[in-house]
Amino acid sequence: MNRIGESITLTLFGASHDSRIGCVIDGIPPGYPVNVESITADLELRKPSAGIGTPRVEADVPEISGIVDGITTGCPVVITFSNSNTRSSDYEQLRRIPRPGHADYPAVSKFGPAHDIRGGGMFSGRMTTPLVAAGALLRDLIGSLGISVGSYVTRIGSVVDTNTYDPADVLTRSRTNPLRAMSSGIEDRMRAEILVAKSDGDSVGGIVRCFATGLPAGLGEPFFDTLDGEISKAVFAIPGVKAIGFGEGFAAAGLRGSENNDAYRIQNGSVVTLTNHAGGVLGGMSSGAVLDFSVAFKPTPSIAKQQMSVDLLTREDAELSVKGRHDPCIANRGAIVVEAMTVFTLADLALRGGFLV
Amino acid sequence: MNRIGESITLTLFGASHDSRIGCVIDGIPPGYPVNVESITADLELRKPSAGIGTPRVEADVPEISGIVDGITTGCPVVITFSNSNTRSSDYEQLRRIPRPGHADYPAVSKFGPAHDIRGGGMFSGRMTTPLVAAGALLRDLIGSLGISVGSYVTRIGSVVDTNTYDPADVLTRSRTNPLRAMSSGIEDRMRAEILVAKSDGDSVGGIVRCFATGLPAGLGEPFFDTLDGEISKAVFAIPGVKAIGFGEGFAAAGLRGSENNDAYRIQNGSVVTLTNHAGGVLGGMSSGAVLDFSVAFKPTPSIAKQQMSVDLLTREDAELSVKGRHDPCIANRGAIVVEAMTVFTLADLALRGGFLV
């Protein structure tokens, strides 16, 4: 369904070429501040970067209701955006000839001829705009617990950032970098990787690493509504996500328990771990350490190169070169969307667990 | 919470050292066959293997109610198991001195002194017994759509199986191998890897690859209740899971769109893909190709080696060597649990999507 969450729910509506898209956020406790500037700032991080993004540019000015004098009232908050820069004619043939790697074929199989094919309909990356606004709006809520969420891009195609960074540094520094890289040197290499793919009529994938600092221990509702499970469900809703791993992730499979376990120590009267191979999650709950997970985005499926497809009407093989306007890489724009879904999930779990009232 | 699912719900109850553990499965349509032999067969695959598993052996005989003459009636189905082989005295000190890498510390932080510490309480791998029974019970339901679910172990510690297998072959062959490996040669190397770790008082992790064949296109309920997201949430509830990836998973980040996209062709009048880099998921829905994902299990946190921990009562550093009875590796026993959570999720999504009535 188009709703996620339990104590706080997020309902998404609209489609890529609808007149409006938006979301309803219900269950926010009354009395929390909402900073429209921080919503705008997060939306800026989702916009296509000069030279490497889609030529489709939208103003992305949020219209917000349910807030009085910058304070939540307990009412549902509604955030909408107008779509003005659409070219629906680019898409009609995709109903017959589905794009490889895109949602077209399963969507037409599921929804039939009524499926909104324009711009990918509800499966468009455009739908992540309200998600980013919702996440930004809830940052103050989890901020009241001392929780901050940030991310950076660790990989674009063959360019891999293997450096180690202080999570607190990531929270601020990667926001000033257009590609969400942690240094201008790596940014330059990542930009080149994207531009070479673009000039080939192709695309590249990437990896986003997300941190949340300041979590109390015990966030998450086992057995099934775990911290890692709820974040994963929320993150897999983001178009293009193919994998998620917490802490060591897949690499944990190659470790011994004595290497992977994080030793506890008392520091200044508090329980800390000397390492964080667990990524801040134990038994489906926050351990009190920094939440640390990585998310893989596939290369954008819409590419100019000719691809093999089928004509669903004549049931014959067909060829396709995708028109329309697309990003040659979505991982860097996806970073703020990963943050948004993480903020949302942490806010919902904080309310469910009685950490917020 | 201890309930998962929407059209079919699975509610889990009990704890590792409770007298009974079990689950309630609600929403199964009436008239479907339930094969107790196949439940027993799946439970056998969860039992510790000779020589490499925990010394704790339970009979694991399911008591099932809500079934008449082997047919579901529409009533909730309840499956319970008795716990008879428990040694709770092994665990009391863990309330004060939490095991590194285990749920002890976040659980005590969240639930306080009332937390059931015996055998890990509700965070024990023992809780996966009812999950396996529930999955086995629902195999006939999705089998009526032609869907089959199977898995095998691709990695234990440093032993990696890089071979490619036909999914149909995996569905049958890995069930006959005690380590869920695809060949006796690899099984021998994996067993040796586990036994060496065990003799060191240590443990190792592993990776399980899961297939589902026969899925119709369009299973999954975007925007948020996606096929990949719902499977991930269900799989992260399994103790010890740290990562999941669909198709190419994290490797998709290093590919070009032209490499990662799966070309469509018409074969015998049907739409097929020539490759399956997407792992059978596009836009949060099944593509009609084989569902293919991998799951990483961390090395078992309970190890005999001395580890650094803390005394939560005195707030001082402490040392710990875990007593009790544990597996030096859980990935091979975890494979059937991954299958169970996958079967459950597919059954729930099939009902939600109108594929089953």
User: pLDDT for B212-256, tens place per residue?
Assistant: 999 999 999 999 999 999 999 999 999 999 999 999 999 999 999
- Give chain A positions within 8 Å (CB) of B266: 310, 315-317
Binding-site residue set of A: 46, 283, 298-302, 325
Six-digit token string for A115: 């499926």
Distance, C-alpha B213 to centroid of its chain:
18
DSSP letter (8 states) at residue A262: P
- Give chain B positions within 8 Å (CB) of A319: none
Pick from B159, B215, B224 the residue to mutate for testing the A interface (most A CBs within 10 Å): B224
Interface of A with B in 42-71 (CB under 8 A): none
Q: Please give chain A's pLDDT, 357 residues, in tens.
A: 999 999 999 999 999 888 899 999 999 999 999 988 999 999 999 998 767 777 767 789 999 999 999 999 999 999 999 988 767 676 778 889 999 999 999 999 999 988 888 888 899 999 999 999 999 999 999 999 999 999 999 999 999 999 999 999 999 988 999 999 999 999 999 999 999 999 999 999 999 999 999 999 999 999 999 999 999 999 999 999 999 999 999 999 999 999 999 999 999 999 999 999 999 999 999 999 999 999 999 999 999 999 999 999 999 999 998 876 678 999 999 999 999 999 999 999 999 999 997
pLDDT score of B50: 63
- CB spacing of B253 vs A205 below 8 angstroms: yes
Chain A: residue whose CA lies nearest to B13: A223
Q: Smallest Cα–Cα separation from B162: which of B153, B173, B174, B154?
A: B154
Residue found under tokens 């919470």: B1
Put simply, whether A22 touches B (Cβ < 8 Å) is: no
Chain B: residue whose CA lies nearest to A250: B296
Interface of A with B in 128-167 (CB under 8 A): 155-158
Pick from B6, B108, B233, B317 the residue to mutate for testing the A interface (most A CBs within 10 Å): B233
Phi-psi region of B299 (alpha: psi -120 to 50; beta: other; left: phi over 0): beta
Neighbours of A50 (CB within 10 A): 7
- CB spacing of A105 vs B217 below 8 angstroms: yes
- CB spacing of B105 vs A264 below 8 angstroms: yes
Distance, C-alpha A186 to centroid of its chain:
21
For residue B293, say if its preceding peptide bond is cis, omega within 30 degrees of 0: no
Interval B67-90 mean pLDDT = 88
Binding-site residue set of B for NADP(+): 46
pLDDT score of A50: 63
Q: How many residues does chain B have?
A: 357
Provide the sign of the torsion angle of the four alpha carbons B319, B324, B329, B335, taken in this order. negative
Q: Which of A122, A228, A232 has the CB atom closest to B229's CB atom?
A: A232
- CB spacing of A260 vs B225 below 8 angstroms: no
- Give chain A positions within 8 Å (CB) of B267: none
- Give chain B positions within 8 Å (CB) of A250: 207, 242-243, 245, 249-250, 294, 296
- Residue B328 sits at the vertex; the CA angle it makes with B324 and B331, to the nearest 5 degrees, is 125
Pick from B110, B227, B292 the residue to mutate for testing the A interface (most A CBs within 10 Å): B110
Pick from B21, B298, B306 the residue to mutate for testing the A interface (most A CBs within 10 Å): B298
Q: How confident is the model at residue B16 (pLDDT cuts 50, 70, 90)?
A: confident
User: What domains sit in chain A, N to C, each tagged with a CATH number?
Assistant: 3-352 (3.60.150.10)
Binding-site residue set of A for FMN: 283, 298-302, 325
ipTM over 0.90: yes
CA gap A342, A236 in Å, rounded: 11
Q: Determine contact, residues B22/B80, Cβ cutoff 8 Å.
A: yes
- Give chain B positions within 8 Å (CB) of A262: 100-101
Residue found under tokens 């996209």: B261
Interval B275-295 mean pLDDT = 98
- CB spacing of B308 vs A249 below 8 angstroms: no
Q: Determine contact, residues A223/B236, Cβ cutoff 8 Å.
A: no
- CB spacing of A202 vs B258 below 8 angstroms: yes
Q: How confident is the model at residue B325 (pLDDT cuts 50, 70, 90)?
A: low
Chain B: residue whose CA lies nearest to A298: B252
pLDDT of B93 > 90? The answer is no
Put simply, whether A321 touches B (Cβ < 8 Å) is: no
Chain B: residue whose CA lies nearest to A268: B315
Count A/B contacts: CB-CB distance under 8 Å.
Answer: 383
Put simply, whether B273 touches A (Cβ < 8 Å) is: yes
CA gap A198, B257 in Å, rounded: 10
pLDDT score of B90: 66
Strand partners, B264: B273
Put simply, whether A312 touches B (Cβ < 8 Å) is: yes
pLDDT of B83 > 90? The answer is no
pLDDT score of A53: 74
Put simply, whether B283 touches A (Cβ < 8 Å) is: yes
Give chain B's count of helices (H) and strands (E).
8, 18
Pick from B9, B96, B256 the residue to mutate for testing the A interface (most A CBs within 10 Å): B256
Strand partners, A271: A266
